[in-house]
Structure 1
Amino acid sequence: PADALFILGDLFEVWIGDDAALQPGFEADCGELLRSTAERLPVFLMHGNRDFMVGPAFAAHCGITLLDDPTVLSLHGERWLLSHGDILCLEDTDYLAFRAQVRTPEWQAAFLARPLEERRALARSMREQSEARKQTPEMLWADVDTSAARGWLQRSRAKTLVHGHTHRPAQHDLGDGWQRIVLSDWDAAAHPPRAQVLCLSPAGPQRVDLR
């Protein structure tokens, strides 16, 4: 059994505000599942590019802890640097500009002031635009910048960066004893389904398929 659960972003396809979980439906059901999980072990959640609007009210209701990006985890005598990973994709300049805009308190306050259904419609539109961008040639190779990743590791005094976002599960040697571990995305509807976790134990990191 695990001692703790770390979710490094994009637990939800979209999150339009904590008040969405106050109504019966998918968001409320997810909240109850998180709450029941948090009663058994500590649960930590980092914002991703899809669910960056998850707020302290929902976290408190579920009994989970929101993490900064990046976060250093000290475990088994090692320092692990945890990140969603999107901010390190330096070639994706359009997305980084969008990210900077939507992470401001002013943008988020204006978004949350809209009616719930209007927020749902806007989120669907942004999601469709995001999916369309993924098919463009420049997005097919946009990835974490190696120099930036090395800089993060050096400043944090960690040896391993663990992140998601790119959906390209792999383990990269960055030189000088540093490495980058990329998590898989989850998709139960894929063929075959994808549901993989990374276990950090005294023996080292190990990928486990939960399919």
Structure 2
Amino acid sequence: MNTPIVPPLAELTASASWRTVDFISDLHLGADEPATFAAFRRYLETTPADAVFMLGDLFEVWVGDDCVSDGLMIDGANGSQHAASFEDHCACLLRQAADRLALFFMHGNRDFLVGQRLMNLCHTSLLADPTVFIFEGRRWLLSHGDALCLADRDYLRFRQQVRSPAWQQAFLARPLGERQAIARGLRQQSQQQQQQRKQSGAGYADVDANAARQWLRAARAATLIHGHTHQPAEHALGGGLSRVVLSDWDAQAAVPRADVLRLTASGLQRIAQL
């Protein structure tokens, strides 16, 4: 597959008051991962950051904003929550965090159906993918990263289909229960494919270096920050360009993972949350 045309580049300039900015991705929050949700709650309650950027796959699955109850409320006097579902609890947690943090969300390959209703409810800003983030006079390119995994041709064809407005409109028109059943089936299929890859020794597709360089040059940025691959590392791309991969979160893994990438005037630092 040829290097993709660079999509339109949105820009966001940090508030002059921000001193610390955090980047996270791939938490894959779900009702069956209570330890990871608890770690996320602790993180939001304790982070010293002024802003938190959630760069995709915050949720394991999101089938539409109507999975959040219409009657969702937070009692500001005592912080009590009135929530009926796991999605409600997630929305309450974000809403409370937004009282002291600037929150930003970017779609991932699991939660691309998050919509403006949820963003409004949680006082969170939706980011385009990719976005140029300007902080302390330096430009950083932010992306979930999946669109740059050019070797994963099957996924990119699927991505093109499900990101189309027509497909999304048709899917969201289905009853909520039907959408949830479809999502469970797709998740089971994905887990089976992952297991087959492990058994065969096949690796996961990684970000294409040439594509990353093209995006960075178009953005006039030196560093790409992304998630998706679950392979946290720093990669030199040549010519002063690099990409930094965010950690996925899994509090129940044999070696628990939950790292934050923290940006200050001094640069980037990985901070373990577990």
Instruction: Quickly name the TM-score band, shorter chain normalised.
Output: over 0.9
Among 249, 252, 261, which residue is 1:189 paired with? Answer: 252
Question: What amino acid is the match of 1:15?
Answer: W
Number of residues paired by the alignment? Answer: 211
When the two structures are superposed, what TM-score results if normalisation uses the length of structure 2? 0.75
Structural RMSD (CA): 1.2
Please name the residue that 1:156 is paired with: 219
Q: CA deviation at 1:133?
A: 2.6
When the two structures are superposed, what TM-score results if normalisation uses the length of structure 1? 0.97
1:91–1:143 contact (8 Å) kept in structure 2: yes
Equivalents in 1 of 2:125, 2:95: separation in Å?
Answer: 11
Which structure exhibits the higher relative contact order, with contacts defined as CA atoms closer than 8 Å and separated by 6 or more residues?
Answer: 2
Larger radius of gyration: 2
Q: CA deviation at 1:66?
A: 0.5
1:133–1:139 contact (8 Å) kept in structure 2: no
Deviates more, 1:95-104 or 1:16-25: 16-25
**Uncovered stretches (5+) of structure 2, i.e. residues with no partner:** 1-47, 71-83
Say if 1:113 and 1:145 are closer, same or farther in 2 by CA, change over 3 A.
Answer: same
State the SS of the aligned residue for 1:124. helix
Question: What amino acid is the match of 1:7?
Answer: M
1:92–1:139 contact (8 Å) kept in structure 2: no
State the SS of the aligned residue for 1:114. coil
Equivalents in 1 of 2:124, 2:226: separation in Å?
Answer: 20
Equivalents in 1 of 2:219, 2:201: separation in Å?
Answer: 30
| Residue 6, structure 1, aligned to residue 6, structure 2 | no
Please name the residue that 1:199 is paired with: 262
Among 22, 44, 53, which residue is 2:69 paired with? Answer: 22
Deviates more, 1:131-140 or 1:183-192: 131-140
Once the two structures are superposed, residues 170-202 of structure 1 have per-residue CA deviations (whole angstroms, 9 ceiling, x without a partner) of 000001111100001001111221110000111
Say if 1:179 and 1:5 are closer, same or farther in 2 by CA, change over 3 A.
Answer: same
Where do 1:1-211 residues align within 5 Å? Answer: 1-22=48-69, 24-134=84-194, 135-136=196-197, 140-211=203-274
Equivalents in 2 of 1:52, 1:182: separation in Å?
Answer: 20
Question: What amino acid is the match of 2:253?
Answer: A
2:55–2:142 contact (8 Å) kept in structure 1: yes
Equivalents in 2 of 1:147, 1:139: separation in Å?
Answer: 22
Question: What amino acid is the match of 1:3?
Answer: D
Query: Which 4+ stretches in 1 moved above 4 angstroms?
Result: none
Equivalents in 1 of 2:49, 2:211: separation in Å?
Answer: 31
Equivalents in 1 of 2:139, 2:201: separation in Å?
Answer: 33
Equivalents in 2 of 1:132, 1:173: separation in Å?
Answer: 33
